[in-house]
């Protein structure tokens, strides 16, 4: 197998700056993902009252324990739960969520 030699200088000023910026973006993404989990927990009593499992609980039962799972589309409703939305953001997110529901995988329909 061929070995590729990297020409990236990991101690350069540009690399360190871009790495810092990327890690800030990753932290922001993790924060947004955490908001989704918090919202799910906030709505859990409603599911419990109906005798239902939350979507996260259903997935946990579906997937093998300890196996990796990649959430896709987890920020599709980006900032929908906030009051600071522009009119176009509301329209776009509503349309995008509608599009995902009818075209997305694992939409809960047989």
Percentage of the chain modeled with pLDDT above 70? 69
**Can you spell out the DSSP letters for 83-108?**
S---HHHHHHHHHHHHHHHHHSS--S
Task: Give the residue among 62, 60, 95 at the shortest CA–CA distance from 77.
Answer: 95
Residues 45 and 24: their CA atoms lie apart, in Å, by 34
Helices then strands (H, E): number in the chain? Answer: 3, 0
pTM: predicted TM-score of the whole model, two decimal places: 0.54
| Domain extents in the chain | 13-65+79-103
State pLDDT tens for residues 64-83. 888 887 777 777 766 666 66
Residues 99 and 104: their CA atoms lie apart, in Å, by 8
């Amino acid at each position: 197998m061929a070995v590729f030699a990297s020409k990236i200088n990991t101690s350069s000023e540009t690399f360190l700056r871009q790495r810092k910026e990327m890690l800030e973006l990753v932290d922001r993404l993790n924060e947004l993902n955490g908001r989704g989990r918090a919202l799910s927990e906030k709505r859990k009593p409603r599911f419990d009252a109906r005798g239902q499992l939350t979507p996260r609980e259903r997935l946990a039962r579906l997937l093998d324990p300890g196996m990796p799972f990649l959430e896709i589309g987890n920020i599709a409703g980006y900032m929908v739960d906030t009051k600071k939305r522009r009119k176009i953001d509301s329209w776009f997110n509503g349309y995008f969520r509608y599009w995902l529901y009818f075209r997305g995988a694992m939409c809960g329909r047989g």
